[in-house]
Amino acid sequence: MSELLNTINEPAQLRKLRRSELERLANELRAFVLNSVARTGGHLSSNLGTVELTIALHYVFNTPHDRIVWDVGHQSYPHKILTGRREAMSTLRQLGGLSGFPCRNESEYDAFGTAHSSTSISAALGMARASQLKGEKRFSIAVIGDGAMTAGMAFEAMNNAGIYDDLPLIVILNDNEMSISPPVGALNRYLARLISGRFYAAAKKGVGQILSIAPPVLKFLRRMEGHAKGIVVPATFFEEFGFNYIGPIDGHDLKSLIPTLCNLKELKGPQFLHVVTKKGQGYSLAEADPVLYHGPGKFNPAQGIQSVPAVRKTYTQVFGEWLCDIAEQDERVIGITPAMREGSGLIEFEQRFPNRYYDVGIAEQHAVTFAGGLAVEGLKPVVAIYSTFVQRAYDQLIHDIALQNLPVLFAIDRAGLVGADGATHAGAYDIAFLRCIPNMTVMAPSDENECRQMLYTALQQSGPTAVRYPRGAGPGVAIQKPMKALPLGKGEVRRMSTQPVGQRIAILAFGSMVAPSLAAAETLNASVANMRFIKPLDAALVHQLAQTHDALVTVEEGCVMGGAGSACIESLLAAGIQCPVLQLGLPDNFIAQGDPARLLANCGLDSIGIAQAIRQRFLMHATEHLGATSASELMI
């Protein structure tokens, strides 16, 4: 029963509770999070770890007047539940339902939309300065995890914030010693080394002597020793940025959290509170394996996650296996990931080739330029990165890689719609922003085997290449172990129409859209080309099909504006070839969360939608000349 939780529909009601009731509320809230996520799927470990911190923040601060920014937002479910969305949690990450991340359109309590890492301090700093400029008295609080603190943007924001002596900004480091992949880097090692060093030992001994008259405090410090990262040193480290450092304190102890937060409200200038939490807190299975329970699908909490054998390999698995195979053949191959070892399929590669595996942390910009440095010295770096995260390193991609024509291979996962993670993680724009860069080669496989062969093809090139592939499994095509380079910039005709002149339609399909295009073509008796290459485009094939068909249809799982279809039109214009062209792809709006198949259908990118669009544009008027223009038809 969640009798107390059911009375909380907004934080104002929470603030009316007695402090003695808050622990009971925390227990009910944690149970609700567990059972809710088990029914819908979503992020679990991180949310179980922030229950008490969320309660304390809304209890102490006057939200939504005071602003809370949740970095990434993986840990914002308790926040959603306490801010009027408890009943709507059954719709989490579903079409038309709640976003899995903070969303300003969803609630006034979501002060800033987040989903990409390490943005919270910058946003909260902007809010804090805005409140000062407007003469409004309010606090801005950034809650950031220790994994997100490894990104340069977090320190850029702190460096900027530290110059304002009276800034109403509070940064809360939620230290659970785990990001999605294990935290890495010199900073993490430096702090760990301080704990075991003589200076820390001497300082700890001195503190122990001073606090010997307060055994409960000493007991707490000893219990937190594994997380403390230097009771003395962090204060110096963060205060050099102009922050007043407090901590570490137990992030699950409301009796510590609430008085500390109350005290912070009375202090002037930017404050830095270090809290220690445990991912999966209160659910033993998640505590034991927080990575497995980071973002599970639906499961039975009593049984835990049950492994189900995969029927078909995912593109991520295809990439991971290819990288290991090619690394066996070529010792120059290097694997790089910006903190997405599991998601990018690099676990086996790390195990087999530890000296050639680099997790650079949440640092996409660094990952790309680091790869450039390796390439300059004759190595073959492969950057495994999500489409949505390539966006964060666009300048480096242009300036450090493409401008110097360096042979860096970008294995771009999650290209296209991603489903439950929604607009923030959708790979909708990589075709458009990659194909406009000089020296870039961009490929899109239509199936698992073509993905493997394209990756091999890309590695043979002397300049930058990208292979974009979708999330999830392919159509189930058998994978050929031998690797063979594909002819550069050459597509293939997969189906030829037998329709008479006047009704001949050719579909130019890219990547994941080949399968639904073939299915649509069967009902229309249309031709289908698997274009394979977005850049260099197979212009000869485009021109041939335009001259032997009455209309062309381009289909891509990417934005229409500036996408692969636009490349085809540009090629026809340059050659002076006139042919009606229908462009199908993702519309010019952000696509929210939902089932991937349903989202594609809503965008008209399933076989039914493709066939329907072609009929409406062309075949319904088959007796008329196909060159007749309409408002939605581009005539060239």
DSSP state letter for 499? P
Inter-residue contact 36 to 100 (CB < 8 Å): no
The reply to whether 364 belongs to the active site is: yes
The Cβ of residue 123 has, within 10 Å, a number of other Cβ atoms equal to 19
How far is the C-alpha of 288 from the C-alpha of 245, rounded, in Å?
31
- Check 229, 278, 356, 392 and give the catalytic one: 392
The reply to whether 492 belongs to the active site is: no
- Check 28, 364, 556, 557 and give the catalytic one: 364
CB-based contacts of 547, cutoff 8 Å, min separation 6: 577, 579
Which pair of structure tokens corresponds to residue 134?
């407007």
Residue owning tokens 């409960």: 216
What kind and span of H or E run contains 528? Answer: strand 527-530
CA nearest to 157, candidates 108, 205, 119 = 119
Phi, psi of 247 (to 5 degrees): 135, -175
The Cβ of residue 346 has, within 10 Å, a number of other Cβ atoms equal to 27
Q: Quick one: residue 441, left, alpha or beta (phi over 0 = left, psi -120 to 50 = alpha)? A: beta
Q: What one-character-per-residue DSSP string does 187-248 give?
A: HHHHHHHHHHSHHHHHHHHHHHHHGGG-HHHHHHHHHTHHHHS-SSHHHHHHHTTT-EEEEE
The reply to whether 279 belongs to the active site is: yes
How far is the C-alpha of 221 from the C-alpha of 204, rounded, in Å?
9
Q: Which amino acid, 289? A: D
Q: What one-character-per-residue DSSP string does 347-372 give?
A: HHHHHH-GGGEEE--S-HHHHHHHHH
Q: Which amino acid, 214? A: A
- Check 30, 80, 278, 279 and give the catalytic one: 279
How far is the C-alpha of 407 from the C-alpha of 377, rounded, in Å?
11
Q: What angle do CA 574, 512, 405 make, to 5 degrees?
A: 55
How far is the C-alpha of 238 from the C-alpha of 246, rounded, in Å?
10
DSSP state letter for 130? H
How far is the C-alpha of 73 from the C-alpha of 101, rounded, in Å?
5
Residues carrying an active site annotation: 279, 364, 392
